[in-house]
């Protein structure tokens, strides 16, 4: 009986120590993960104060219809994303990509609510241009037309933006 009590006591002691170690390890892992989330992400979709680049561009609109997109797969974007009607997505001209605006970046567009995500690339012939995705609503795209807007986004290296935007 004494041996059994001592064994149970030792097991409880070992279990408590293991739990303490696992708790400390888990706390450390969560702390590191939280710091990575807080400081490791360069772009924050809903926090406009992080935008440090402002550009004037031409904006048009496009739809998921075969006459405006890839034949056979109307929802397929240039980076491989599938566009879904209702989502806030844009296509960008290749010069804007060189200025640091890249796949899945968050963009604030003057005159539109919320933030849009870069999911598509435009033909090489376009410069300083975005195309706002409007799903299947061709009338909304026609109503939008072609206009000059100001966009905002975040870029780590703003020197290339300054050099290329001239």
pLDDT at 97: 95
Tell me the pLDDT band of 154, cut-offs 50, 70 and 90.
Answer: very high
% the chain with pLDDT above 70: 66
pLDDT at 24: 62
The answer as to CATH 2.40.40.10 being correct for domain 48-164 is yes
* pLDDT tens per residue across span 50-86: 888 999 999 999 998 888 876 777 888 888 899 999 9
* pLDDT tens per residue across span 98-153: 999 999 999 999 999 999 999 999 999 999 999 999 999 999 999 999 999 999 99
Residues 22-33, mean pLDDT to the nearest whole number: 58
pLDDT at residue 40 tops 70:
no
* Contacts of 122 by beta carbon, 8 Å cutoff, 6+ apart: 91, 92, 93, 94, 129, 130, 131
The answer to whether 116 and 132 are in contact (CB under 8 A) is: yes
């Amino acid at each position: 009986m004494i041996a059994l009590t001592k064994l149970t006591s030792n097991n409880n002691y070992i279990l408590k120590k293991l739990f303490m170690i696992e708790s400390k390890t888990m706390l450390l892992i969560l702390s590191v993960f939280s710091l990575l989330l807080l400081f490791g992400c360069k772009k924050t979709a809903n926090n406009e104060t992080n935008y440090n680049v402002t550009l004037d561009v031409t904006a048009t609109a496009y739809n998921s219809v075969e006459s405006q997109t890839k034949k056979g797969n109307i929802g397929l974007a240039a980076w491989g994303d599938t566009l879904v009607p209702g989502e806030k997505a844009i296509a960008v001209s290749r010069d804007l990509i060189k200025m640091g605006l890249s796949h899945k970046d968050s963009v604030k567009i003057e005159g539109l609510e919320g933030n849009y995500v870069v999911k598509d690339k435009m033909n090489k012939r376009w410069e300083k241009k975005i195309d706002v995705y409007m799903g299947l609503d061709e009338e909304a795209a026609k109503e939008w037309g072609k206009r000059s807007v100001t966009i905002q986004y975040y870029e780590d290296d703003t020197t290339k933006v300054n050099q290329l935007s001239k």
